[in-house]
Structure 1
């Protein structure tokens, strides 16, 4: 049996995240199972590109730094990386995330022993700003670290699996794919996803659905033990960001549903909205009515956050569905992939 080769790719766009970028790359470089390739793709920022090539390569000689040669945004940067890596597996780590343990990469690669597995993603826990704790906009139940709205800040949320199992799609901050997926399915949709600080998304959802359609019997695996810590910036702790991010999610889901159909685009979301969120509201209301020890007074911030977040997402979805823009007409990016590098004996 042969082992798979793996590249870790970090995409970055701003010098404001320099410390996060440095930590992300360092966490990938110190893995027990070292990556075969380490890449940083800089999204249309000459100053960041020059500094990374000068300072980060001095620390990590194996690091290759590339400018985004495609459409501005995260999807274009990822597609640029895909046209340069030569490994079996491509791992994407966000520029503000860092592996929580030195066996993160090994755990992420374990499921690929099954040839039917085409993609594997891990979990993400929030790393709050220094001196800050969990905000009222992201409620959480007692005895759990996952909040129902933690997806708003790019983290694993209550309602996702707690053990390794198949899922529809992966979270972008901590995910991997067989490189051959992009030969069959094409790249990330460059008309979807985040551009700078604009909180759009769902390019991973659309790609995962498209990828499974190209390979019958394939599976996508969520591996919660492959964990990263995702830095949450101060601006994401506000009510304004909650509503803005939820509204953008609705717009993004509408675009995906026009491309792949509502059944697949909303299959996970229907259960989440009909079961997970109502349970959260009831819990938060009960907590306000009968506060536990140490409670400083009744409030309904948590319930309000869930209700307002769902409302903003719904409004965004309705607005997106009514839009005259036809996302389904957007072309799937065709990538020019390198020949695969030979695998080494296990």
Structure 2
């Protein structure tokens, strides 16, 4: 989840640099099953009004995909994940190989709006901005289920009702659409491999932990949410059901417990407390009103909260249960020449 901390500071009050930073876009992929989505994601980057200086496809331990992408997808750098298997390792590989001053991340099943890169980069004229993230719209493969509450669109990796509708300073971004100053990522040591998604395992929150770590002890620093920087994110039919909804909420609770161990419960749960106090109750009121989602949507809201809290409690009781430290700093490696 992400949440508003305060409105974005007016640019007039900052010493704007006027400098357009160079941009590397990193797309991570791990399976041939998303080939069609991956091609669409890359094409959306190549059709930008202001194209990135480079696009890197990081293939996460799937040699067949690396070979095919290198032979078919022209104009991008295809590299392999040299770190621990999983999304965090793949992202860290991309950061280490990137040449841009800013590194943006786009999911392999997302399509960027034509002005995505320029909207992201506009925020970096303010030197206080460490990162810029944007809106993630769901693109339902089989149509949105009538019971699925928009307050829980984070379950499918998308922006949800209750998030800011105007530019705002936030705690963290949604991973499908985010960017950071590369130097800041390098200095912070990158994403925690013990928190990132591996294959279909629905754990995560590595973006949340990274964002908290980046801004810790730096009250002047800003992570800026820019809803005009939009992408659409495909939601497959297999995620539009009650079983996935419950499992993903439970996994979110487990992940938040892990983040709380690393950052402390205050930073890890600040947005979630506001979400439970404000966003969910408003959703319940909306569901029971005429024209609302009715009993099924109300049940989904209750189930989502219960499953998430159960996952969090389970995670706290289990303790660390895995690596509790950064595996190592992001390496500044340069690839010798694409896919093997």
CA contact (8 A) 2:70 2:78 kept: yes
CA contact (8 A) 1:121 1:174 kept: yes
For 1:122, the equivalent position in structure 2 comes to: 134
Give the drift of 1:313: 0.2
CA contact (8 A) 1:188 1:333 kept: no
Give the drift of 1:331: 2.3
For 1:79, the equivalent position in structure 2 comes to: 92
Give the drift of 1:215: 4.4
For 2:318, the equivalent position in structure 1 comes to: 323
For 1:34, the equivalent position in structure 2 comes to: 51
> Aligned-pair RMSD on alpha carbons?
1.7
Cα separation, 2, equivalents of 1:29 and 1:203: 28
Q: TM-score, length-normalised on structure 1?
A: 0.88
Matches for 1:263-278 after TM superposition, within 5 Å: 263-278=266-281
Give SS of 2:216's match.
Answer: helix
For 1:342, the equivalent position in structure 2 comes to: none
C-alpha deviations, 1:87-114, integer Å up to 9, x for none?
10000000000112x1111001111000
1:17 aligns with 2:43: no
For 1:159, the equivalent position in structure 2 comes to: 162
CA contact (8 A) 1:137 1:238 kept: no
For 2:200, the equivalent position in structure 1 comes to: 197
1:185 aligns with 2:188: yes
For 2:300, the equivalent position in structure 1 comes to: 305
Which blocks of at least 5 consecutive residues in structure 2 are unaligned? 1-17, 335-340
1:66 aligns with 2:79: yes
For 2:103, the equivalent position in structure 1 comes to: 90
> Quick check: 118-127 or 325-334, which moved more?
325-334
Give the drift of 1:53: 0.9
1:107 corresponds, among 119, 135, 141, to 119
Give SS of 2:106's match.
Answer: strand
CA contact (8 A) 1:190 1:333 kept: no
Give the drift of 1:134: 1.1
Give the drift of 1:337: 2.2
> Quick check: 328-337 or 228-237, which moved more?
328-337
Change (3 A) 1:328 1:43: closer
Cα separation, 1, equivalents of 2:147 and 2:29: 27
Cα separation, 1, equivalents of 2:333 and 2:183: 11
CA contact (8 A) 1:86 1:338 kept: no
C-alpha deviations, 1:26-46, integer Å up to 9, x for none?
101111111001110011111
Cα separation, 2, equivalents of 1:316 and 1:269: 14
1:261 corresponds, among 256, 261, 264, to 264
1:336 aligns with 2:331: yes
1:231 aligns with 2:234: yes
C-alpha deviations, 1:256-287, integer Å up to 9, x for none?
01110111000011010111101111221233
For 1:171, the equivalent position in structure 2 comes to: 174
Cα separation, 2, equivalents of 1:257 and 1:225: 31
Length, aligned pairs only: 317
Give SS of 1:176's match.
Answer: strand
For 2:246, the equivalent position in structure 1 comes to: 243
Give the drift of 1:137: 3.9
Give SS of 2:79's match.
Answer: strand
Cα separation, 2, equivalents of 1:337 and 1:68: 13
C-alpha deviations, 1:172-214, integer Å up to 9, x for none?
0000000011232111000002111111110000000101126
Give SS of 1:11's match.
Answer: strand
Give the drift of 1:327: 6.3
CA contact (8 A) 1:91 1:175 kept: yes
Give SS of 1:149's match.
Answer: helix
